[in-house]
Amino acid sequence: MPSTRAGGRLLFAGAARRHRVSGPDPHLSERLRLFQQLRAAQQQRDEAGTGTGTGTGTGSGRPPPGTPIRIALPGGGCLPGRALQTTPFQVATQLGGGLAKAALVARVNGTLQDLDRPLESDTDLELLDFSTPEGRAAFWQSSACVLGAVAEQFYGATLCSAQATEDGFFCDVHMGERTVQRGELPALEDACDTFARTGHRFERLEATRQQLAELFKHNSFQLQQIEEEVTSPTATVYRCGPLLQLCHGPLLRHTGLIAALRILTSSAAFWRGAGSRQSLQRVAAVAFPSAQDLAAWQQAQDEAALRDHRRIGREQELFFFHKLSPGSCFFLPRGAHVYNTLVDFIRSEYRARGFCEVVTPNVFSPQLWELSGHWQHYSTHMFSFTAGTETLSLKPMNCPAHCLMFAHRPRSWRELPLRLADFGVLHRNEPPSTLTGLTRVRRFQQDDAHIFCTLEQLEGEIDACLDFVQTVYATLGFSFRLALATRPPGFLGDPETWDRAEQQLERSLRAFGQPWELSLGDGAFYGPKIDIRIRDALGRQHQCGTIQLDFQMPERFELEYASATGGVVRPVLIHRAVLGSVERMVAVLAESCGGRWPLWLSPVQAMVIPQAPEVEDYAREVQAVLRGDGMMADLDGDAGATLARKIRRAQLAHYNFQLVVGRRERAHGTVSVRTRDNRQLGEHDLHRLLQRLRELRDARVPDAEEQF
């Protein structure tokens, strides 16, 4: 699509004008001129060494511009540089090897920053590309700015927000009564490609609240965001072509790095949630550094669509949803088998690891949640109702009930660590638009457990939790990544307690020996945590397990135990889950294995196939023997189908084994065994077959068909 420039704006010729809902922004030139004035002043201050950013100014201890600095690189390398002059991009260029082209953002002394932002002092420098979570986040946030800039010009709309997500990005725009039509998306995508190829630079400005108010005075949405979210004296604004966007960053150097962009969907949204009356339009997209990356992503999407757990659940008759109970799953017998097998697996680990399973109520007074602190932070996600004169709530988590259990009688140090496990039903009031199969539901269960222990026991308990995680995920066939999530805004308690808790988790992570990363500000409001992200067979990551350290809730519930010396001491609380939501784990497993379940978990373990109607009675005997031992065994008694058709039908349905019986097998008390990959394993005595299947199932081997 051809484009022209006018007054600092990018105007799209032809079709774009037909999509506009308003005329050109009359204030654009004014805003861009103010931005450039403020940025020029900032650059002068930086060059003089008197900037207002973090760690700047004459009293900050930062060396003057041009002072020699030391730049430490991963692996032990070191380069010289100049304070406030050398940039991470210059270092990437100097190092060569394609780094200047691949690097997207930098980690400087543990903090992410733009590649063109000069280094201030001695630096530990790491260059991050698209393969890293931080690199992808910056790439997609930058791409969201491209989409936002184009959407404003394309529709004459007002950009409300532009955000990166775990798997792409989206923009929310206000268009009055106008909506984004699906047929317009290809033209919008072409306009984004044109804009990106132009190579607009991402220019960063640190502005005061007063300057922010002036820059965004014609955008009420951005002004509200500034009022609600900017609590520091300054905040960061980026310019990308005609766009000004309040954004923490870091972002890319320029839009030319965005080589391939695909617009996915458009939908309705609401400003600040469904309670707002401001209706918006949301456009979701994804982008990559190369067309090859986009093609690989599309191939993965096609594969994921074939593995969608909702399709597998329907085809294998595992579960369904109904409009009369939105967000709550109906597990059919086969699905209940998978569900209960996962729970039984965790229960077996609980028995081996000293956990005690408990049962707690579903309905509580709000006083409980006020005491725990959840009411302040979580009440909008809870189901509450009145019963007579009382207000009651369905529990969204188990930890407060477990605190009541600990506190219901005096406790001694001899009882610690006390490990309480609970598979109780939980309810969370998720918005209707977010409900997605089993991955986002309103009714669910977790492999939830809470450990009450002494400070001296804390390190050993965290280490044991990490070993628990490793054991379970290895059995399920997942690799995983660990992240230490630190205190968020609005945290409960004092910073010193948080520091102590974070340091303990960091020590445990280092001792565990697996790679981990820092996730600043992502902790729970009551304590830091270790987030565990598993990687499935398609390479996708899922947040399932967590280990959370909590010094706050024992204080709020006044939990205490008698110490060995006779004093009274507060216990430490560890929240932990490995599967997380069992519903979500069923979805992740279904998609990861594509419906080809491992034998121990499979809802379709064996299909008994009679060669002819005359041996169907024996086939039913075989099925009964298998079912009597807890095997999921079905029988294909279709007299109108050939033997070959029955076998093929069972293999397409992913039955782990097909057990064929005819006159010979009936006479000898045997079965002929095939696998779902059509391997013929020969004739086997029925009871020896059952013994072998039991051994493979109980050992939870991932490849029983190969090990048979």
pLDDT by residue (tens digit) across 273-287?
545 568 899 999 999
Which candidate in 282, 307, 310, 575 is catalytic?
A: 575
Residue 198 reports pLDDT greater than 80: yes
Tokens encoding 578: 């490995």
* pLDDT confidence tier of residue 1, bands split at 50, 70 and 90: very low
Share of the chain above pLDDT 90, in %: 77
Predicted pLDDT of residue 305 = 87
Spatial separation of the C-alpha atoms in residues 316 and 311, rounded to whole Å: 8
Predicted pLDDT of residue 16 = 46
Average pLDDT over residues 5-31: 57
Instruction: Considering only residues 326 and 17, tell me which one the structure prediction assigns the higher pLDDT.
Output: 326
* pLDDT confidence tier of residue 493, bands split at 50, 70 and 90: confident
517: buried, middle or exposed (CB in 10 Å: 19+, 13-18, 0-12)?
A: middle
Which candidate in 529, 584, 654, 697 is catalytic?
A: 529
Spatial separation of the C-alpha atoms in residues 23 and 636, rounded to whole Å: 67
Closest Cα partner for 218 from 37, 24, 7?
Answer: 24
Average pLDDT over residues 254-272: 93
Classify residue 4 by its DSSP letter: E
Closest Cα partner for 18 from 221, 191, 242, 230?
Answer: 191
514 among known catalytic residues: no
Q: What are the CA-CA distances from residue 553 to residues 105, 364, 557, 561 (Å)?
A: 38, 17, 6, 15
Q: What are the CA-CA distances from residue 617 to residues 439, 574, 663, 687 (Å)?
A: 42, 55, 11, 17
Residue 11 reports pLDDT greater than 70: no
8 Å CB contact between 86 and 113: no
Predicted pLDDT of residue 625 = 97
User: Which pLDDT tens digit goes with each residue over 92-133?
Assistant: 999 999 999 999 999 999 899 999 999 999 999 999 999 998
pTM of the predicted model, to two decimals? 0.76
Spatial separation of the C-alpha atoms in residues 183 and 143, rounded to whole Å: 21
Tokens 């009564």 sit at which residue? 177
8 Å CB contact between 640 and 613: no
Closest Cα partner for 171 from 187, 198, 150, 197?
Answer: 150
How does the average pLDDT of the chain come out, rounded? Answer: 91
Which candidate in 399, 453, 465, 593 is catalytic?
A: 399
* pLDDT confidence tier of residue 9, bands split at 50, 70 and 90: very low
Spatial separation of the C-alpha atoms in residues 627 and 492, rounded to whole Å: 52
210 among known catalytic residues: no
Which candidate in 25, 116, 448, 550 is catalytic?
A: 448
Which candidate in 428, 440, 576, 697 is catalytic?
A: 428
Which candidate in 245, 446, 548, 611 is catalytic?
A: 446
The residue type of 363 is V
Give the contacts of 83 (CB within 8 A, at least 6 positions apart): 62, 63, 64, 65, 66, 67, 68, 69, 118, 119, 120, 121
Predicted pLDDT of residue 460 = 94
Residue 470 reports pLDDT greater than 60: yes
8 Å CB contact between 363 and 394: yes
Predicted pLDDT of residue 18 = 53
Residue 57 reports pLDDT greater than 50: no
Average pLDDT over residues 331-338: 98
Helices (H), 257-332: 291-306, 309-315
* pLDDT confidence tier of residue 464, bands split at 50, 70 and 90: very high
Tokens encoding 575: 């929240």
Classify residue 118 by its DSSP letter: P
DSSP three-state, residue 233: coil
Find the helix packing angle between 185-197 and 133-155, rounded to 10°: 110
Residue 8 reports pLDDT greater than 90: no
What's the CA angle centered on 407, arms 405 and 413, to 5 degrees? Answer: 105
646 among known catalytic residues: no
User: Which pLDDT tens digit goes with each residue over 202-253?
Assistant: 999 999 999 999 999 999 999 999 998 888 899 999 999 999 999 999 999 9
Q: How many CA atoms lie within 13 A of 287 on its CB side?
A: 32
Rg (CA), the chain: 30
Residue 661 reports pLDDT greater than 70: yes
* pLDDT confidence tier of residue 15, bands split at 50, 70 and 90: very low
Predicted pLDDT of residue 501 = 85
Spatial separation of the C-alpha atoms in residues 576 and 469, rounded to whole Å: 10
Predicted pLDDT of residue 202 = 98
Which candidate in 450, 542, 646, 654 is catalytic?
A: 450
Tokens 């100014």 sit at which residue? 57
Tokens 């299947």 sit at which residue? 693
Spatial separation of the C-alpha atoms in residues 549 and 479, rounded to whole Å: 23
Q: How many CA atoms lie within 13 A of 207 on its CB side?
A: 29
399 among known catalytic residues: yes
Predicted pLDDT of residue 249 = 94
At residue 16, φ and ψ (nearest 5 deg) are -60, -40
Residue 396 reports pLDDT greater than 70: yes
Helices (H), 288-445: 291-306, 309-315, 333-353, 366-372, 374-378, 399-407
Residue 704 reports pLDDT greater than 90: yes
8 Å CB contact between 547 and 530: yes
Average pLDDT over residues 329-353: 98
Average pLDDT over residues 42-60: 64
For the chain, report the end-to-end CA distance as a whole number of angstroms. 61
Residue 55 reports pLDDT greater than 70: no
446 among known catalytic residues: yes
Closest Cα partner for 105 from 140, 55, 63, 145?
Answer: 140
448 among known catalytic residues: yes
Predicted pLDDT of residue 54 = 44
Distance of CA 416 to the CA centre of its chain: 33
Spatial separation of the C-alpha atoms in residues 635 and 403, rounded to whole Å: 49
User: Which pLDDT tens digit goes with each residue over 576-604?
Assistant: 999 999 999 999 999 999 999 999 999 99
Residue 19 reports pLDDT greater than 70: no
Predicted pLDDT of residue 24 = 60
User: Which pLDDT tens digit goes with each residue over 601-653?
Assistant: 999 999 999 999 999 999 999 999 999 999 999 999 999 999 999 999 999 99
Give the contacts of 193 (CB within 8 A, at least 6 positions apart): 261
* pLDDT confidence tier of residue 370, bands split at 50, 70 and 90: very high
Residue 492 reports pLDDT greater than 80: no
Predicted pLDDT of residue 581 = 96
Q: Dmax over Cα atoms in the chain, in whole Å?
A: 97
Average pLDDT over residues 171-189: 93
* pLDDT confidence tier of residue 683, bands split at 50, 70 and 90: very high
Share of the chain above pLDDT 70, in %: 94
Spatial separation of the C-alpha atoms in residues 207 and 197, rounded to whole Å: 29
